[in-house]
Amino acid sequence: MANNDELANAAAQGNYDKVKELLHNGADVDGINSFGRTPLQVMKMGCPELCRLLLQHGADPNRQDNQQIALIHDVAREGFLDTLKVLIEVGNADANLRDKNNHRPIDLAKQHGHLDVVNYLGNLNPAD
């Protein structure tokens, strides 16, 4: 678990070089930290290249926490369009994944006024 915490902490800090080093040395990309979360779930949201690195090493883009929230919900709610694009285009994240309140990422983006995210997700699902 210590190694899982080290990778998750580096991801949370947006430390690309440390994450890359740890992955190169065999750290589990989907390892659960002492808070029950993976590096992708805790990564600094404004770091699309870090997201890309984790996904390229096999991180699960659709893993949900105990509130059924995945990174795609967080980045849509917070308006991180670049990271959202990486999740979908590199990681094949499910743009219609629902959280425990039955909200999809587009619903969260609408609630928080992130029109660029709403437009991007809307183009993926024209019925929205």
The fold adopted by the segment(s) 63-128 is 1.25.40
Query: What pLDDT is recorded for position 66?
Result: 85
pLDDT tens for the chain, 128 residues: list them. 558 999 999 999 999 999 999 999 999 999 999 999 999 999 999 999 999 999 999 999 999 998 899 999 999 999 999 999 999 999 999 999 999 999 999 999 999 999 999 999 999 877 66
Topology classification of domain 1-60: 1.25.40
Query: What pTM was estimated for this model as a whole?
Result: 0.93
- According to the model, what pLDDT value does residue 3 have? 80
Domains 1-60 and 63-128 share a fold: yes
Per-residue confidence (pLDDT) for residue 125, from 0 to 100 = 76
Domain positions in the chain? 1-60, 63-128
Cβ 43 vs Cβ 71: under 8 Å: yes
Question: 16-24 vs 2-12: helix axis angle to the nearest 10?
Answer: 150
Alpha helices by DSSP H, 45-114: 48-56, 71-78, 81-89, 105-111
